[in-house]
Structure 1
Amino acid sequence: MPSRLASILLLAGALAHTTTAHDSHVEQKRLPGTWYQPDDHPVHALFKRDGGASDGITYAPVGSPEWTAGYPPGAPDITQLPPAWLNALHAAEAAGKIPKIPVSTMVAGGEPTYDGFDPNKPEVCSATYQCRIQGDLWDGPPGTLALSFDDGPLPPSPALYDFLQSNGLHATHFFIGSNILQYPAIFSQALANGDDMAVHTWTHPYMTTKTNEELVGEFGWTMEIIHNSTGGRLPKYWRPPYGDSDMRTRAIAKEVFGLTTVIWNQDTDDWSLHEAGGTTLDKIATLMQTWLTGPKTPGLIILEHELMVDTVGAFIAAFPLMKSNGWNMVSLAQLDGGAAYQNADNSTSPVNPGQVADLSVQEPPSASGSSSAPSSKPTG
């Protein structure tokens, strides 16, 4: 049975050379050209190119061959990581900030296991086992429905972006870095709409199965492509694929890249639509009815995907119920006082001219490869 990520990559390959009328429209948009980047920000040195007082770089146009050439076509090669990233990792390790717990092992459809360690104990605290680490985000404030979607950008995404925009809504998109590389025009549509960019890793692996250096590559390249393609924005949040996180992975995210870990408190299982034994649109509608008409404490963080036409459709179908039950719908990344990025005061407008980037979108390049898909597992 192919995994969910395998389905994503097959869809990506099949449509890589297709430029729709919608894509052509997006390519004509000019995005904001400047963004605030304070010089004393702790992760500033990891993504700043010249070491001077300001970035001073005009980045390659999004979607251009020069832009594409700056990123790995598949799984990040740990021998090719920027030294600044590795130095930051090693400094955090030396300071005792990265727990020395083993890399997990996992069989298809199973749960992560740790040699000699209990995943429920505080030293590991695996999110897969519903162990909550203080500081990670699982719940929203009372009465709040935090809008977020995983796995984009993909060909079904523009319909979601159009719906959000037409209803005056913004969402957080936990983007797969290699999908941004594949679909730059769709990525730029979400940005132009004023939605928030967040990290869903470069190739969507089970993160607890990766070494420290491999984790740095998964985080770093996704941060890099978002930073270089948005005028310098640095995401504040990441969501682990499959919800697979623990004390070690979240520590690397936080200590090296300043990222806060986001999970969820309700799961539609929408990724499994059309899979044998998977969910159905009727089941999702029933779940939404229960959640949206139920208690408003805590607020809802629902796991949803922009993976296929029907996952987008399931959200759109539930929207009237969200409105009629009085939920305060807000982009997940703006729950913390509207600060969706680490280096900006808000999500929608520059604070201070800092750097100029050419954010026009060129014709997307031909399909570039992604890493092999992880084994299938029935989680988000």
Structure 2
Amino acid sequence: MFPAFLLFFSLPFASAVPATRDHVHNINHPLPATSWYLPRDHPANDLFKRAPGDGVNYAPVGSPTWSSGFPQSTPDPNKLPAEWVNALNAAVAAGKIPNVPQSTNTPGVNPVYPQGVNPNGPEVCSATYKCRHPEDIWDAPPNYFGTGFDDGPLPDTPKLLQFLQQNHETATHFMIGVNILAYPQQFSATFESGGDIAAHTWTHPYMTTLNNLEVLGQLGWTSALIKNSTGGRIPRFWRPPYGDSDNRVRAIAKEIFGLETILWNQDTRDWSLLTGGTTQATIHNSMQQWLSGPKTPGLIVLEHESSDQSVQAFMDAYPLIKSNGWNAMSVAQLAGNGTTYRNAKDSMSSVTPAGILVDDDIVPSGTPSSSSSSSSLVPSSAPPSRSTVMQTLGQSQTPTGSGNSLAATNTPTESAALCNTDTTWSRTLLLACLTVTVLSAWP
């Protein structure tokens, strides 16, 4: 069972369009699948149509309403939503956030832990020091090249998007919050092209050097802005800047915001092209070596959309990916077994409506408040319950005519009518609906 994820308040965008594609590859994965969706060709889809959005009217990306309320630079840890802080405090009290000491560093130098603390020990497990936590994603499946780019959106993002579209490829874009605010058109172009949006923090710090509240702000504001800019899609994955994470940071990401960590097993260092740290020829030679080598494990290569040169480096290497027989696929789709958001498969499929739990194991009772503000759903005076948290995550009222459960007082006919509303269903509710639909038709 997954922990409580506490999110976000509603600052708006346009509703999603219906799904037009389905690209899923089943792989063995150490993380449990938390979301359940019907295959597009499943006959039950004729009975239970998916809703087009999550029920919130989001402001247009790039508008003053859209950007208002978000930090313009490094988040102030004293100005975080009470719901996030309460959830963090509850997780700490429950022993779910390890008491790992903060690291220190100077720019460009790996963080250093206090004397006597082993970064590779099981208590810390620093990804900077290449400790592989079993729940982190470092490798793609055999024969697969997990495509992803850091640091967007930026002015050179459109060049990358055009190349991906021309080659019928989809990538994961690990985005920085302040860059989304600064380049809203590039963000929208990425999302509308079918790109998978993941979090890359708000201002790109070394995460292990931050205290718990600072980590909370970096992840929370980024996830909230992505949600409000994608018609309500809640990001499922994040990538720590510089690969800097440990058990404490990892736990805050997962326990509070449901974020799973994606790292990499090869590094192009393309971010240093502008500073002379590497060259196009060096990157191309490295890619040629990796791509002509063994296909087990699969490749996740650290690449960036931060400059024309870094984008060009990928474009130059792309023919090697294909000629060496690799299957290129968005790294989030590989890591998520085809599901790239917590409440939607991808940018083209619909969002689970509020009040319909994404997890398999619980269908919460009751209807969330009609207010679009999370503060009205979760009391700031006490840690939120799992049911309340999951309703808050949906951030809208239950669609008109639908409910969260089939009440025992409903007749089969009434329940069948309830099941015919447009929505996305958890497994428990679907089975109940199938049952009452059969009963209602029984002579």
CA distance in 2, matches of 1:61, 1:312: 28
Matched, 1:231 2:231: yes
Shift of 1:193: 0.5
Q: Which amino acid aligns with 2:222?
A: T
Mapped partners of 1:55, 1:158: distance in 2: 28
Change (3 A) 1:345 1:272: closer
Aligned positions of 1:1-380 closer than 5 A: 42-43=4-5, 45-47=7-9, 56-115=55-114, 116-276=116-276, 278-335=277-334, 336-350=336-350
- How far is 1:67 from its partner? 1.2
The 1:57–1:295 alpha-carbon spacing in structure 2 relative to 1, beyond 3 Å, is: same
* Closer, same or farther: CA 190–321 of 1 in aligned 2, 3 Å: same
Distance in 2 (alpha carbons) for counterparts of 1:299 and 1:226: 28
Find the aligned partners of 1:298 and 1:158 in 2 and give their Cα distance. Answer: 31
- How far is the alpha carbon of 1:106 from its aligned partner? 1.0
1:318 and 1:56 mapped to 2: Cα distance?
42
Alignment-mate amino acid for residue 303 of structure 1: L
Q: 1:351 to 1:152 in 2, by over 3 A?
A: closer
For residues 291-320 of structure 1, give each alpha carbon's deviation from its aligned partner in whole angstroms, at most 9, with x where no partner exists: 111100000000000010010000001111
AA aligned to 1:57 is V
Q: 1:41 to 1:114 in 2, by over 3 A?
A: closer
How many residue pairs get aligned? The number is 310
Report the Cα offset of residue 85 of structure 1: 0.7
Going from structure 1 to structure 2, the CA distance change for 1:218 and 1:44 (only over 3 Å counts) comes to closer
Deviation at 1:79, TM superposition (A): 1.4
Q: How high is the TM-score relative to the length of structure 1?
A: 0.78
- CA distance in 1 between counterparts of 2:113 and 2:286 reads 33
- Kindly tell me: are residues 99 and 342 of structure 1, through their superposed partners in 2, closer, same or farther at Cα, counting changes over 3 Å? same
**What's the CA shift string for 1:34-78, capped at 9, x where partnerless?**
xxxxxx9943654469xxxx9653222110111121211010011
Give how far 1:230 is off: 0.6
In structure 2, C-alpha distance between the alignment counterparts of 1:235 and 1:341, rounded to whole Å: 5
Contact 2:150/2:174 (<8 A) preserved: yes
Question: 2:131 is paired with a residue of what secondary structure?
Answer: coil
**Relative to 1, partners in 2 of residues 1:352 and 1:235: Cα closer, same or farther, differing over 3 Å?**
closer
Query: Which gives a bigger RCO, structure 1 or 2 (Cα 8 Å, sep 6+)?
Result: 1
1 CA distance for matches of 2:275 and 2:54?
47
Tell me the secondary structure at the aligned position of residue 67 of structure 1. Answer: helix
Q: One-letter code of the match for 2:266?
A: Q
CA RMSD of aligned residues (A): 1.8
Structure 1, unaligned runs of 5 or more: 1-39, 355-380
- Does structure 1 conserve the Cα–Cα contact (< 8 Å) formed by 2:141 and 2:298? yes
d(CA) in 1 for partners of 2:188 and 2:3? 25
TM-score (norm 2): 0.68
Whichever residue aligns with residue 263 of structure 1, its letter is L
Equivalent-residue separation in structure 1 for 2:3 and 2:165 (angstroms) = 31
**Bigger Rg, structure 1 or 2:** 2
Alpha-carbon distance change, 131 to 306 in structure 1, aligned in 2, over 3 angstroms: same
Change (3 A) 1:106 1:188: same
Kept in 2, the 8 Å contact 1:234–1:341? The answer is: yes
Give me the whole-angstrom Cα distance separating, in 2, the residues matched to 1:294 and 1:308: 28
1-structure distance, mates of 2:224, 2:310? 28
Deviation string for 1:121-174 (max 9, x for gaps)?
110111111111111000000000000000000001100001101111000000
The amino acid of 1:129's aligned partner reads Y
Amino acid at match of 2:248: R
